[in-house]
Amino acid sequence: MKIITTEIPGVVILEPEVFGDARGYFFESYSQRIFDQAVRPVRFVQDNESQSKYGVLRGLHFQKGEYAQSKLVRVVHGRVLDVAVDIRRGSPTFGCYAAVELTGENKRQFFIPRGFAHGFAVLSPQAVFQYKCDNAYAPQSEGAIAWNDPQIGIDWQLPAQAVLLSAKDSRNPPLAEAAELFDYNEDYYA
């Protein structure tokens, strides 16, 4: 497993070694031992999957407080742009983002630590998206920021008129107006 750092410490891309021949391919998609040594010790407790069509943009989501989540995301079919935004007040990279294209072909994964908002946009006709979480979903702890916040300036690689949002995501506030975020000096893994 190759670990690729991003411009934001802690946010990493994981690239598996794929073994292929005339029959097809094999790769190890997750190893707790390798992940803990190369990234950080995290105990994932839930796996999720979504299927979306071209233009669907899900995000930018996070969970607050005791329900804060890390995510390890990947695409098994299709192509998405996946984004992590630093929402830890006091962080040197507060409001900055890291992005990666995840595809069924490149088999890359993206680790989003606690303290980050997460979202993705579907760039192919359809995409199947899978992710691991290290904390249970808690609706009372949901938080979100606007996908198109000009201060963050994410290039989602989609024309604005093609973006398909949920009703809830269309009402997310910009980062500057988000009520409860994270503190850079607090350890959300303790």
What mean pLDDT is reported for the chain? 95
Q: What's the whole-model pTM score? A: 0.95
H/E segment holding residue 83: strand 79-86
Mean pLDDT of 181-186: 95
Q: Respond yes or no: is residue 131 known to be catalytic.
A: yes
pLDDT band at 180 (very low <50, low <70, confident <90, very high): confident
Distance CA 71, CA 170 (A): 23
CATH fold of 43-183 reads: Jelly Rolls (2.60.120)
Catalytic residue, candidates 25, 30, 54, 61: 61
Tens digits of residue pLDDT in 87-146? 999 999 999 999 999 999 999 999 999 999 999 999 999 999 999 999 999 999 999 999
Overall average pLDDT of the 35-61 stretch = 95
Name the least confident of 16-20, 57-61, 148-152, 165-169.
16-20
In the chain, pLDDT over 90 holds for what percent of residues?
A: 95
pLDDT at residue 126, as a whole number = 98
> Among 30, 67, 97, 131, which one carries the catalytic annotation?
131
How is the chain split into domains, by residue range? 43-183
Give the pLDDT band of residue 76 (cuts 50, 70, 90). very high
Report the percent of the chain where pLDDT is more than 70.
Answer: 100
User: Is 61 marked active-site?
Assistant: yes
Neighbour tally for 52: CB within 10 Å: 19
Round to whole Å and give the CA distance between 173 and 185.
Answer: 24
Residue 163 · residue 156 · CB < 8 Å: yes
> What span, in angstroms and rounded, lies between the C-alpha atoms of 12 and 114?
13
Distance between CA atoms of residues 132 and 49, nearest Å:
9
Please count the CA atoms within 13 angstroms of the CA of 155 that sit on its side-chain side.
3
